[in-house]
Structures are given as structure tokens and as C-alpha cells.
A = this chain, B = another copy of it.
């Protein structure tokens, strides 16, 4: 016996379609419907038909074995015999994050494939994996930011059971798992939410299409959808934290912002579970309200991204000044990034043609997540080339040294630790040939505007684009890559010897020379011309 529930307000009839059976659902309060099916249980395939229309997957489907267009499958999370009862979660100070994409991290491209590589991560010394989105998205290959079934781990990665195995294996290995979740929009394919209820609004427009209705009529249940999704990952998958994608694209005019509600409910669950859970916002707004405490009028998230740190460093290393890099380049801006993470803290941005950000005074340094590379900064380049394809060994080592001694929370991107030669390109697998073509052409057009030859922009739909982006683990044994890996391991080991909460830093940037000092360690860099970079790491007893 299984009880099915679905929210579909203002509808006259909803039917449960399970296996060959059609069961009319009973109307509950505030737009909810319910039905029981004596023959259903874990593994049962089902969907819902609204007023006789085509059967659709459950908006809260826990599993989509056949993808976003297939039926949902019943999962009983309570049946999983967890083995990590001693695990208490992650603590922010001192944390080193490692971002990975399940599909390209391992040869297998699955959650189990990640498990096979945990020894490498353990030896590297990182504290937590940060998985790019795993919620069911269109097709078998994709970055994951166009999710359609928010509650279902992707079938091609191994589904619910696979994700649970990965998290147990991580916890057994002393590693936490942070999951990237996308609450600023839903993907274009397989997204039937709008057929069920007022999940989306046309009042606010964003870059990526359908934005959630967090503050209009019916928004209570839309908010619950998102908050319950977060709570599910934590409760049913033992996830240690969530990386909230692009929160600057979430518009909510309610007195209780959805992010504040989310943080308050996650904190309450975390307390009930006696397990620490981190909420990390990706933002380009540089808004300290995100990470301020709720009793100071903040939302109470644990940390926020600081892309400015990346941009200031990237420009110093590469000399690139196109696009948003035009806002960086002056040595004093790199100094400010190394000191404060957010360079744009209420100052004029030429690229955005407005004053950007706000001063985060009083926010502890570990609340900023910084990276020298991440999936966006690599993958959003036309050919998805890593920093290692652009600069020499010395500059890569300089970047690593500054990243891993920072008082902020550093994030590595899969393969960065050995200067992987594989790119990370933009790939999709939309079954709809029209959409697939549109995505490919859109991307070519976008980069053509920046002077790229369209033929050099990989086709996202081409399986080869995905394959090229897979890590080549064989190269780790080559001397150059082995040397780089040692550099990263040694730096993480050095970081372990530093205080978890930094007491302050001293930074000086003069032309090509960067000097960075904190408690018992210092980094001195002379970038010099290509091939002549000098990096010196000083550790005091």
C-alpha cells in the first residue's frame, strides 16, 4: 500500500495512474489531492493525470528511471539502512571544497564511479565534495542546471540508491557532501510543474526562463516545494550542505524572503538531527544580507560565493580583460580581493554600469567561498579550457598557493589539482532535436559576438563534447601532473597547520608582485613574464 499526494489547486479532477490502474484522487485542503493504492509500493511506476490530460510525472517524484519524460517511481527513503550514524556534518572554518560533475569525474560517469575515486580525494586532503546538480534533467548528459524533477537524483548517475551509496562512502571516508541545487528557475524540458499549479510567475524576468512564484497567489505551496526539497536532501540523503545556485536571480518581495525561510527551516532540521548542515549561496550581487545572522536582519546562510576573488586573480594571471574581466586588472583590486573577497562592495562597476555590492564588514572570512577555477569559469569559456591551458606551471602554482592559504573557504574544481589537460565544455542531451539545435546555435551566436569562430565552439549536443570533458585519470601519473598534485596536497597539508579561523591577513600587491601573509605562513609571488613566475611559500614555526 502506498499513499500518493499531489498539489494541483483549482483543478476539477486528478487521477493517479499507477501501472495499469487509474484511481480518482480525493480533494484535500488548499489544493492537495490524495489517493491510496493497495498494490503500490517501492518500485511502482506512476504519474498523475489532471482533468483527463496526458499522464505526467509527480512534481515531487523521488525517482525518474526513464528520464524527465517517463513515469515516476515510488521510493521509500525510510527503508534505507544508514551506516553513518556517527557522522556530525561539516564545520565551515578551515573547510576545503572540491567541486565535481558526476558524469565526467570518473570513467563510469556515475555516483559509484565517484566512490572509486574517493581514495584520491582523501589523499588530496579536501574536506567535502560539492556535487554539481544531480536533480533529474533532460537526457543523459548535462551540467544539471536545467533540472525538471527536483526531488529525483539523475537516473544516469545511479538514481536514489546510487546517491545514498556515494554519501555513505564519503562519510565513511571522513568526507562531507554538498549538493548544488537550483531554485532560481526550472529547466525547459520535462518541466510540467505549471500544469499542476501556479509554480511560476511572469512578474519577474530572468535570463533562464520560468521563475518560481515565491510571492504571489499560491506561493505558500511553491515555497514549500523548494524548502521541502532542501529538507529532503538533508533528511533522506544525509547531505551535509547545499550550494544554492545563482540566488541573485531569485526574486521574492515577501516580508520573509524564501532564502531566510529556507535557512531557518534547515537550521531547525539540523538541530533536530544533531548534524551540522551548511547553506552556501552562489551570488554575484555581493549582498552581505545573505550571510548576516537573522537577528541582525540577515537571511542567516552560512557562506556566499565571491567570484570577484577569481576574476581579480584570473586577470592578473592571464591578462584577459574582455567581458566581466574589464572590471578587474588594477593591482589594488587584486589586493582588495585577497583581503576582503568581494572587490565590488558598493563601488562603481564599469562593466555593469552601476554601483555593485555592499560592504561585508564584520562578516568572518570563512563565510566567503573562493576559487581559482570552477565549473562556470572554466565551462563558460567558448572551448571550456582550464586555466592550465592558458598559463604556465608557475602561474598555476601561484594560484594554488594563494587559494589554499586564503582565510576564505577555497573550492577546487575536479582535476585542477593535477592541472588536468581535459577541458570542461558545455554539454547537453536534449531529446527534442529543435531545442538541441537552438541551444547549440545560441551558444555559437553568443561566442561569435565575442569574436569566436563559430566552428571552434563545441556543439553542446554532440556526445563528443561530453566525452572530451571527462577527466583523464591516466595522466595523473605523468611527471608534470604528479608534480602539480603534490603541490596541491602539500598546500592543503599546510592549510591544516594554519588556524581554522584566520586572525587577519597582510597583503601587498605591486605590479607583478604579490605578497600575502597570515599567522604562520606567507606566499610571495613574482608573476614575471610567462615561464618566469616565482612562487615562494614561507612557513614559520
User: Is A255's CB under 8 angstroms from B285's CB?
Assistant: yes
CA distance A285 to B215 in the complex (A): 10
Are B354 and A217 in contact, with the CB atoms below 8 A?
yes
Contact residues in B for A346 (Cβ distance below 8 Å)? 255-256
B255 near A354 with CB under 8 A, answer: no
Q: How many residues of A contact B (CB 8 A)?
A: 33
A215, A255, A292, A298: most-surrounded residue (chain B CB, <10 A): A255
Residues of B within 8 A of A296 (CB): 296-297
Chain B residues near A215: list those with CB within 8 A: 354
Given contacts A288-B255, A297-B297, A298-B297, contact A352 B204 (CB under 8 A): no
In the complex, chain B residues whose CB is within 8 Å of the CB of A357:
255
Interface residues of A in 206-251 (CB under 8 A from B): 215-220, 248, 251
Q: With A and B bound together, what is the CA distance between A99 and B355 in angstroms?
A: 37
> A residues 401-433 with Cβ under 8 Å of B?
none
Q: Which residue of B lies closest to A349 (CB)?
A: B217
Q: Report the separation of the CA atoms of residues A348 and B255 in the bound assembly, to the nearest whole angstrom.
A: 14
Please tell me if A202 contacts chain B, counting CB pairs below 8 Å.
Answer: yes
Contact B289 A255 (CB under 8 A): yes
- For the complex, give the distance between the alpha carbons of A354 and B9 in Å: 13
Any B CB within 8 A of the CB of A308: no
Query: What does the 1/0 interface line of A239-280 toward B look like (CB < 8 Å)?
Result: 000000000100101111000000000000000000000000
CB distance B251 to A358 under 8 Å?
no
From 51 to 102 in chain A, residues with beta carbon under 8 angstroms from any chain B beta carbon are none
**What are the residues of chain B within 8 A of A353 when measuring CB–CB?**
217-218
- Give A292 to B216 CA distance when docked, in angstroms: 24
A285 neighbours in B (Cβ, 8 Å): 253-255
* Shortest CB distance A4–B (Å): 24
Complex Cα gap A449–B468 (Å): 61
* A220, B298: Cα distance in complex, Å: 24
* Minimum Cβ distance to chain B for residue A228 (Å): 15
CB distance from A268 to the nearest CB of B (A): 16
Q: Which of A203, A218, A220, A354 has the largest number of chain B CB atoms within 10 A?
A: A354
| A459 interface contact, C-beta 8 A | no
Chain B residues positioned under 8 Å from A205 (CB to CB): 202-204
Let me know if B354 and A216 touch, CB within 8 A. yes
Across-interface contacts of A180 in B (CB, < 8 A)? none
In the complex, chain A residues 276-306 whose Cβ is within 8 Å of any chain B Cβ: 285-289, 292, 296-298
Point out the residues of chain B lying under 8 angstroms from A254, CB to CB. 285, 287
Closest chain-B Cβ to A299's Cβ sits at a distance in Å of: 10
Q: Which of B256, B352, B354, B358 touches A358 (beta carbons < 8 Å)? A: B256
Q: Per a CB cutoff under 8 Å, which of B219, B255, B354, B358 touches A219?
A: B354
Q: What B residues does A216 contact at CB under 8 A?
A: 354
Q: Which of B203, B251, B352 contacts A253 (CB 8 A)?
A: B251
> Given contacts A219-B355, A256-B346, could you give 20 more A-B pairs where the C-beta distance is less than 8 Å?
A203-B204, A203-B205, A204-B204, A204-B205, A204-B251, A216-B354, A217-B352, A217-B353, A219-B354, A220-B354, A248-B253, A251-B251, A253-B285, A254-B285, A254-B287, A255-B285, A255-B289, A255-B346, A296-B297, A297-B297
A-B contact pairs, 25 of them (CB 8 A): A202-B205, A203-B204, A203-B205, A204-B204, A204-B205, A215-B354, A218-B353, A219-B354, A219-B355, A220-B348, A220-B354, A220-B355, A251-B251, A251-B253, A253-B285, A254-B285, A254-B287, A255-B285, A255-B286, A255-B287, A255-B288, A255-B346, A255-B357, A256-B346, A296-B297
